[in-house]
Structure 1
Amino acid sequence: MNSFFQNYNTGKRIILHLCFWFLVLGMQFISYQRIDIDNSWILFLKDVFSLLTIFYVTAYVIIPRWFIPGKFLLCMLWLLFIYAWWSFLSYFGALLTLKYLTPDIRLASYLEIVQSNGIFGAFRLSSLSDYLLDFIFLVALPLTVKIVQAFMSVKNSKTKLELKNAALELNNVQLELAFLKYQINPHFLLNTLYSIYVLVSDRDERGGESMMRLSSIMVYLLHESNQPKVDISREFQLLKDYVELEKLRYSETVQINLNLAADDENCMMVPLIFFPFVENAFKHGPRLSSSAGWISIDIKVKDHKVHLNVSNAYRELSKPENYIGGLGIENVRKRLELHYPHHHILEIKSNEGVFTVNLVVTLLPEEQP
């Protein structure tokens, strides 16, 4: 039944409406013909006009704007209005039939009663029940069909929305799990641990400091990054610790510039948006000779917008067969689409030996201090 109401185009809709009105109005026509074959056509036209106007205004204006949103007081006022509209047309239909036609005794007696009750006869207590029964008999079937169809349409829309939200939640979980899997390069951990081991063995005081930085990174990745939003200042500290540990690997032979600034570090953001771009720069930037390698990281937060620029020297290298790469960057693209739809601009390009990432994120109202 649901697919019957939903799965049809404009042409099928018109055909369906014509068939429906042929049946409904056909029954009305037969009813009047049984009363008076030659003199009931004015009353029939009255019912056709009143029923079509009541149905289409109710179906395409009142139901979507008042009934579905739950504005039931307005719906009751509309019901009162269409009852009055039908009763007025019935009164004038009776007058015209008596004046210009010669109905038989049975129809004439009915019309004389309508005329004697006056234009507000439908609201008199003595005749209210008779008028209401006629009115309900006229509008009940068409309006019931439309109301049922409206309820089914709303239910179908809610079901689709629930399925869409469920799929989005599942996708979100899958993205977060994938991100946790690829959020830090295992080679970085191994190389950093080895560098710290060398420093500690040489009793270099930088060993203890490096150990604390690595510990801070791991605590953040394992615990704090699970939060929906984190302070920008905490993201900045992660990048500072990471860059300082990477410097242990390259000493001073690779130029590394890090600039982090925020007009208010209390603003918040989805965690680990910056990190994949920075890690990627270190993964590929120093692949040139040590003297030619360089990395520049510049992140600014101003007027509730985050501006990131990460660039590095770059050389295209042949990749091994069945190489799978770019997972971190692709994952962060999806996270940006998920958390900042229509609120970010991401540009990634490689030109003349320089790989550049530019990202602008407009912070959401709840992320602004």
Structure 2
Amino acid sequence: MTKFFQNYTIGKRIFLHLCFWLVVLGMQFVVYQRIDFSNSWILFSKDVFSLLTIFYVTAYIIIPRWFIPGKFVLCILWLIFIYAWWSFLSYFAGILTLHYLSPGPRLANYIKDVEDQGIFGAFKPSSISDYLLDFIFLVALPLTVKIVQAFMLVRSSKMELELKNAELELNNVQLELAFLKYQINPHFLLNTLYSIYVLVSDRDERGGESMMRLSSIMVYLLHESNQPSIEISREFQLLKDYVELEKLRYSETVKIDLILSAENENCMLVPLIFFPFVENAFKHGPRLSASSGWISIRIVVKNDTVYMHVSNAYRELPKPENYVGGLGIENVRKRLELHYQDNYNLEIKSEEGVFSVNLVVTLLPEENP
């Protein structure tokens, strides 16, 4: 069946419609044949004509133009119209059958009742219930099938649109993440390389260690961070390497407190969640603080929950014209929203010379084996 609808051609549509009407009209035909085998063909032809026109006008004009957009007053007026139209056809078909054919007693009594009620009998309180039952019996099945199909089509279209939007959003975030990985502060790289050069020139043993830390950072950013999730221990190592290299630049002039702790270092989380905040603290904190700079980084994983607090001394300075910033933090927001949805809380504050970021993330079950 799935393969059949994957290539739903006009030929297949016609075939399905023919099968459907064979069943529906076959039921109507059997009912009339039981009433009068030889003289019910006018009434049956009336039902075939009225049902086909009602169905196709409703299915391809009324439902897409009025029902789906929510124009229900017009839909009710349409129901009243087709009910009246069907009742008029029923009245004239009955009169033709009674006067030009020889209906049996059962059919003749039914038609005489219709004739006695008059052309507006379908709207009289004494007979409206009988007419409504006949009308509902005639149109309920085909129209219900089409309305259900319309709802399913709308739902499917909405789901497809949502999936496309989600895919586009994911692609955008992945592109931004790639940009984030390759936009590491060039001043950091330049100054770090110069610091390592000085250490190597002075034959300081820290030169080789610093080179290894820088290499570890680049390997992580270029290769490991491409994974959907990564062990918290590897994320911690990235931060340790980064902080140690920044210490080469600032020496003792900046107080740096780093606390990284996890009950389970094998737990997994989305990569590069912490790094933009830490890099931002080093980018703005020591360089822009009015007094002696300081940076505090505390990340603790406990009871399947990640708690991060990053703060630094801060002084607001005028931004250059056309300044664009905050891309890394905005990227983190989007990835948190996509991956953790309602399971995180991010708070960023700047007050009294202190810039602080607090992040709480509840890890997903698959991320905490």
Instruction: Indicate the residue corresponding to 1:97 in structure 2.
Output: none
Residues of 1 paired with 2:206 and 2:272: CA distance? 26
* 1:341 corresponds to: 341
One-letter identity of the residue aligned with 2:283: K
Structure 1 residues 291, 38: closer, same or farther in 2, change over 3 A?
closer
Contact 2:255 2:293 in 1 (8 A): yes
Change (3 A) 1:289 1:196: same
**Residue 317 in 1 paired to residue 322 in 2?**
no
Match in the other structure for 1:46:
130
For 1:167, the equivalent position in structure 2 comes to 165
Which residue in the other structure is 2:142 paired with?
144
Quote how far apart the aligned CAs of 1:343 are. 1.3
2-structure distance, mates of 1:209, 1:48: 89
Written as runs of structure 1 = structure 2, the 5 A alignment for 1:278-297 is: 278-288=278-288, 292-297=292-297
- 1:139-185: CA deviation from partner (whole Å, max 9, x where unpaired): 3x332123123213212321221122122112211222122212322
C-alpha spacing 1:153/1:211, structure 2 compared with 1 (3 Å): same
Q: Tell whether the 8 Å contact from 2:289 to 2:314 is kept in structure 1 after alignment.
A: no
Q: Distance in 1 between matches of 2:86 and 2:368?
A: 60
What's the counterpart of residue 223 of structure 2?
223
Q: Which amino acid aligns with 1:350?
A: S
State the distance in 2 between where 1:318 and 1:194 align: 29
Deviation larger for 182-191 or 34-43: 34-43
**From 52, 64, 67, the counterpart of 1:3:** 64
Contact 1:287 1:315 in 2 (8 A): no
Deviations 1:186-219 (A, max 9, x none): 2211111111111111111111111111111111
Residue identity matched to 2:130: K
CA-CA distance at 1:353 after TM superposition = 0.1
Deviation at 1:356, TM superposition (A): 0.6
Residue type matched to 1:252 in 2?
E
Distance 1:18 1:325, change over 3 A: same
1:52-71 alignment runs, 5 A limit: 52=136
Match status 1:13 vs 2:75 = yes
Which residue pairs with 1:253 in the alignment?
Answer: 253
Deviation at 1:288, TM superposition (A): 4.1
Offset of residue 255 of structure 1: 0.6
Amino acid in structure 2 at the alignment position of 1:353: G
**Contact 1:307 1:361 (C-alpha < 8 Å) held by counterparts:** yes
Confirm or deny: 8 A CA contact 2:290 2:315 kept in the other structure: no
Question: 2-side partners of 1:143 and 1:223: how far apart?
Answer: 59
- In the TM superposition, 1:345-364 aligns within 5 A as 345-364=345-364
Q: What is the CA distance between 1:44 and its match in structure 2?
A: 6.7
**Residue identity matched to 2:219:** V
Give the residue type in structure 2 aligned to 1:173: N
Give yes or no for the alignment of 1:193 onto 2:193: yes
Listed as ranges, the matches of 1:233-272 within 5 Å are 233-272=233-272
Q: Distance in 1 between matches of 2:345 and 2:148?
A: 40
Q: TM-score, normalised by structure 2?
A: 0.71
Q: Provide the residue aligned with 1:66 in structure 2.
A: none
Aligned partner letter, 1:146: T
Q: Which residue of 2 aligns with 1:156?
A: 154
d(CA) in 1 for partners of 2:71, 2:117: 40
- Aligned equivalent of 1:134: none
Q: Sort the Cα spacing of 1:20 and 1:193 in 2 relative to 1 into closer, same or farther, 3 A.
A: farther
Name the counterpart of 1:208.
208
- For 1:24 and 1:192, the matched residues in 2 are separated by 86
Q: Sequence identity, in percent?
A: 59
1:177 matched to 2:175: yes
Structure 1 147/205 Cα, relative in aligned 2: closer, same or farther at 3 Å?
same
Cα 1:25–1:188 change in 2 (3 A) is farther
Report the CA distance between 1:32 and its aligned residue: 5.4
Question: What are the within-5 Å matches in structure 2 for residues 13-162 of structure 1?
Answer: 13-28=75-90, 30=92, 35-36=111-112, 37-38=115-116, 45-49=129-133, 52=136, 138-139=137-138, 141-162=139-160
Amino acid at match of 1:167: N
Cα separation, 1, equivalents of 2:362 and 2:70:
42
Task: Give unpaired runs (5+ residues) of structure 2.
Answer: 1-59, 98-110
Are the structure 2 counterparts of residues 270 and 27 from structure 1 closer, same or farther at C-alpha, using a change threshold of 3 Å?
farther
CA distances 1:94-126 after superposition (whole Å, capped 9, x unpaired) = xxxxxxxxxxxxxxxxxxxxxxxxxxxxxxxxx
